[in-house]
Structures are given as C-alpha cells and as structure tokens.
Chains A and B, each alone.
Chain A
Amino acid sequence: DAGVIQSPRHEVTEMGQEVTLRCKPISGHDYLFWYRQTMMRGLELLIYFNNNVPIDDSGMPEDRFSAKMPNASFSTLKIQPSEPRDSAVYFCASSGGNEQFFGPGTRLTVL
C-alpha cells in the first residue's frame, strides 16, 4: 500500500494566484481530513469528509478556501486567491474509523 499520496510536495506561488492541493487517500478508507500546520497555530483541522460528503468545514478559515471530494480516491483543497498568510504545510489524512494515516504534506509558500 502506497499510503496517502499528496501532490505537489512543494508549491511556491505569488499572492493572488489560485492554488490546488491534491490528495489520494488509502483505498477503503471512508474518512478524509485536511489539516494545516504552522509554527504559530500548530495543527488545525480544516475540513473532513465521510463517504465523500463534507461533514464539518468549520475549520476552513474563510471563503477563499474550498475542498471537494468527487470520488472515494481523490480530494482537492483549493485556495483562491492565495495570500502570504496561507503559507503553511497542508496535510491530508485518511481513516477507516480508527487511527488516521497522514500523507507527507504539501509545503505551500505564498510570496
């Protein structure tokens, strides 16, 4: 099993640009989570899905952030427009209802 796959691993963009982060969860897992991690705020849950349906998006910081899960094997987190304060490591994780399995993360830098 390849584990949770995230792409890209690194993204550098300019303020105002659209950014799309991608995640492929572990096959058979019915939960998918998007987290953001920064030195200042630590690990924050942004949104999670159960069976491809968004369950709780209360952690999404503002309307510039959106997430989709069109099928059980793919999810995206989009930031439009991006701002320097969005710079962080974004993790995707999946779960079968017990522990979570994290991807390697996407390091986003917004200049």
Chain B
Amino acid sequence: AQSVTQLGSHVSVSEGALVLLRCNYSSSVPPYLFWYVQYPNQGLQLLLKYTTGATLVKGINGFEAEFKKSETSFHLTKPSAHMSDAAEYFCAVSERGVGKSTFGDGTTLTVKP
C-alpha cells in the first residue's frame, strides 16, 4: 500500500520569501511522485513529476522538488514566492505504470504582500 503525508495543511509566506511544502511518502515499490496545484474553482494541474533519473526535478512557475529516497521525501520548493502562487498543493504517489495515484490531504499556500 502507498501513502502520502503532507506536513502542514496551511503554509503562509511573504511575497519574495522561500516556499517549502513538505511531502513524505510510503511505498513498497519504486514510486512515481507528483505535485499538483489547484487554483480556486479549478481542477488540479500537474506542477512537476519524478519518474526516473535526476532526483531534482523542475516544474512550471519556478517550482522544483527533490526526490530523497533515504528520507522518503519529495518536498516542493520555490526560491521566491509570488502572489499568484497562492493555491492548494497536493503531493501524490503511484506505482510505476499504474495510473492510480494516492494523494495527500493538500497544503494551502497563502502569500502575504
């Protein structure tokens, strides 16, 4: 069975500050890992993904995440927050080649001016 834990249901940062959203996963097989973003009144959209290869992956809007197998983590970061980054962020894990993912509970990011 797979599971995802997102630490902190709400994170607040100032504009221009570092964004760090934490995600830990559990998987008995090598995982695929994803971060999705959901803006108000919209569906989830893929921010970035790790499948194989380089453990530091870059996504849209300046976000990146690093797969750390030893820590079973896939934390999401962005060096400088923008007001437009305010949204809910979901971490997800799946088995390779299987379309079904297990999602975390989500983290709401607030960006203060």
Q: Which residues of A contact B (CB under 8 A)?
A: 4, 29-31, 33, 42-43, 45, 48, 50, 55-56, 91, 93, 95-105
Chain A residues within an 8 Å CB radius of B43: 4, 91, 93, 102-105
Chain A residues within an 8 Å CB radius of B51: 98
Give 11 CB contacts A-B under 8 Å: A30-B99, A33-B100, A43-B103, A43-B106, A45-B103, A50-B99, A91-B43, A97-B99, A98-B51, A99-B34, A102-B44
Q: Which interface class (under 10, 10 to 19, 20 to 34, 35 or more) fits B?
A: 20 to 34
Q: Which residues of B contact A (CB under 8 A)?
A: 32, 34, 36, 42-46, 49, 51, 90, 92, 97-101, 103, 105-106
Chain A residues within an 8 Å CB radius of B92: 100
Chain B residues within an 8 Å CB radius of A48: 99-100
CB-based nearest A residue for B43 = A102
Q: Are B106 and A95 interface neighbours, CB within 8 A? A: no
Query: With A42-B105, A42-B106, A43-B103 as given contacts, are A99 and B46 in contact (CB-CB < 8 Å)?
Result: yes
CB-based nearest A residue for B49 = A99
Q: Are B97 and A97 interface neighbours, CB within 8 A? A: yes
Q: A4-B43, A45-B100, A101-B46 are in contact. List 17 more A-B contacts (CB 8 A).
A: A29-B99, A31-B100, A33-B99, A42-B105, A42-B106, A43-B44, A43-B90, A48-B100, A91-B44, A93-B43, A95-B99, A97-B99, A98-B99, A100-B46, A102-B43, A103-B43, A104-B42
CB-based nearest A residue for B94 = A98
CA distance in complex: A104, B8 (Å):
26
CB-based nearest B residue for A103 = B43
